[in-house]
Amino acid sequence: MAPRDPAQVLHQVFGYDAFRGDQSEIVEHVSGGGDALVLMPTGGGKSLCYQIPSLVRDGTGVVISPLIALMQDQVDALRAVGVRAGFLNSTQGPQERRDTEAAFLDGELDMLYLAPERLRVPSTVDLLGRGTVALFAIDEAHCVSQWGHDFRPDYLMLSELHQRWPDVPRIALTATATRATHAEIAERLDLTGAKHFVASFDRPNIQYRIVPKAEPRRQLLDLLRAEHAGDAGIVYCLSRRSVEQTAEFLTAQGITALPYHAGLEAPVRAANQARFLREDGIVMVATIAFGMGIDKPDVRFVAHLDLPKSVEGYYQETGRAGRDGLPSTAWLAYGLGDVVQQRKMIDDSEGDLAHRRRLSQHLDAMLALCETVECRRVNLLAYFGQAGAEACGNCDTCLTPPQTWDGTVAAQKVLSTVWRLKKERNQSFGAGQIVDILVGKQTPKITQHRHEELSVFGVGTELRDVEWRTVIRQLLARELLTVGGAYQTLSLTESSGEVLRGDREVALRRDPERPARASRNRSAAATVALPAAAAEVFERLRAWRGAAAKEQGVPAYVIFHDATLREIATGAPTSLAELGQVNGVGEAKLARYGEQILETLAAGPA
């Protein structure tokens, strides 16, 4: 029988000596039968908050998760530490499903993973009623938010768990929630009476950087070659076409890159995901269809080639980097076209005015993060209700503070051009034509419409084309301009008149000529450099782990995380007893891999 003390379980099963942050209080509360709602950042140790109570309490911990494609890996990781785990989902054959159900009824499972839609099947509810449920864990609880980016309709029925099993504790967990989303989760899951735990959303190991967009694929390539050569990472694009083109571009440049989007056939998606999880140094180029629940700890960078729709989406996506706590990069290329495209998508979206207004609020917050001249991290944390944070010193605006300038006159010139086109010619144009008019550029389009006759023609020669585009981008971000129509033309807003009349000043952010770059060596992980001797041992251990993972058909991190291998390489244990003191080496892994590790350490360089 498994030990019943949470601290013992933590040490003997998972190989850790102490809980972190709120983990101890959460585990004690749920183990004692209490309901909990947990907001904790990715990499903060959410899983232990329900895994350990599942082992402490009588019965089987039932985990509700939307991540069908990852359940096998989640179960493999638990089995690797000696936890009796299984899952029920649509990928199984009849016999495998029957075997899992029998193990649950016989009390031979510590944890059982279910997709939320399984609870709509009467036989599943009947099965759970005939067994002993230790707790219900609702993972990725933000999926219940109807206004969120990962909404799952099946999550709405999970409030019924409390009605059907009133004495079974429930714990809902998410890494991404504003105060409004937090309240929505509590209400929709009937957890308003639960104890709420809100950890800091800060991920200090992630360096946030947002750069002006200029040939974004080339900018991405420069980033990878300069700072992340050989590293695993995720690149997010808005469209399927962009995903495929970016993956092809990186592959042509000698980088192992794979595409992932909903338009690919399921076997291709599954194969690409498996390679990303099981091989080192793979770059996954994907739409937001990829990533939720990805437990790969050594993702060293997350890059966005298009503007995310919300800060919540951005935070969750960038949070997939650096789960192991080592330095990682969140990099975003952002430009005028992103603002125009996102505004147009909102205008064209289905739903009523309230829905479009909510989408606009999400976008406004994302634009504020992009345009801020203050610490990115302070801005990000404030969005999640964590006010009062100090400047981090580890984001681009801290490393290279951007300048501001009085852009009132420049703003008036842009707005006046848009106004005169409409007033005098009854015309509307996009940003490119506005810029050409301001700088006095003679183009066929200018000649065709006789725009050289406008009084504003050539009044903006003090700025370059790219600088005028930056001005227009910031005016759109502040809703001093709007975009609409099939041709994405610019129009004035209610606030434009304040600027034109001189009643409102406009301070603008000056994009740096050279975006900030971290002072890093070949890769982000190199910033926590090991001594030369230990580095050589670490690489030997990684090679052993890779071979073992390939033989077993599991991701390398299921065997050991990089952080554990680094500690082994540094401490150089010479006995099983010493190895057992390393963080991440529990009893099951010590018994299975201990002798192999000691042999690898003793073998010396090949």
What the block records as the tokens of 245 is: 């083109």
Q: Annotate 532-591 with three-state secondary structure.
A: HHHHHHHHHHHHHHHHHHHHHCCCHHHHCCHHHHHHHHHHCCCCHHHHCCCCCCCHHHHH
DSSP H/E element including 101 = helix 94-105
pTM listed for this prediction: 0.84
Query: In CATH, what number does 6-198 get?
Result: 3.40.50.300
Residue 3: predicted pLDDT: 47
Q: Which CATH class is domain 528-603?
A: mainly alpha
The structural domains of the chain, with segments of one domain joined by +, span 6-198, 206-334+372-400, 404-510, 528-603
Q: Which of 68, 57, 71 has the alpha carbon at shortest distance from 1? A: 57
Residue type at 363 in one-letter notation: L
Q: Can you tell me which residue has the tokens 């302070």? A: 378
d(CA 419, CA 421): 6
| Amino acid symbol at 509 | R
pLDDT for the residue 259: 97
CATH number of 404-510: 1.10.10.10
Transcribe 359-397 into DSSP letters.
Answer: HHHHHHHHHHHHH-SS-HHHHHHHHTT-TTPPP-S-SHH
Domain 6-198 matches domain 206-334+372-400 at the CATH topology level: yes
| CATH of region 206-334+372-400 | 3.40.50.300
What is the per-residue pLDDT for 606?
58
The secondary structure of 441-479 as a DSSP string is ---HHHHHTTGGGSTTTTTTTTS-HHHHHHHHHHHHHTT
Tokens, residue 511 = 């994009």
Residue 482 pairs with which residues in a beta bridge? 491
CA 158 to chain centroid: 24
Q: Which residues of the chain carry a pLDDT beneath 70? A: 1-3, 146-150, 486, 513-528, 606
Residues 167-182 pLDDT 10s: 999 999 998 778 888 9
Residue 44's pLDDT is 80
Supply 492's token pair: 């004035």
pLDDT tens for each residue of 573-606: 999 999 999 999 999 999 999 999 999 998 877 5
Three-state SS sequence of 190-242: CCCCCEEEECCCCCCCEEEEEEECCCHHHHHHHHHHHHCCCCEEEEECCCHHH
Contact criterion met (CB below 8 Å) for 57 and 138: no
Instruction: Give the DSSP H or E segment for 272.
Output: helix 266-278
pLDDT at 528: 58
Other Cβ atoms within 10 Å of 241 Cβ, number: 11
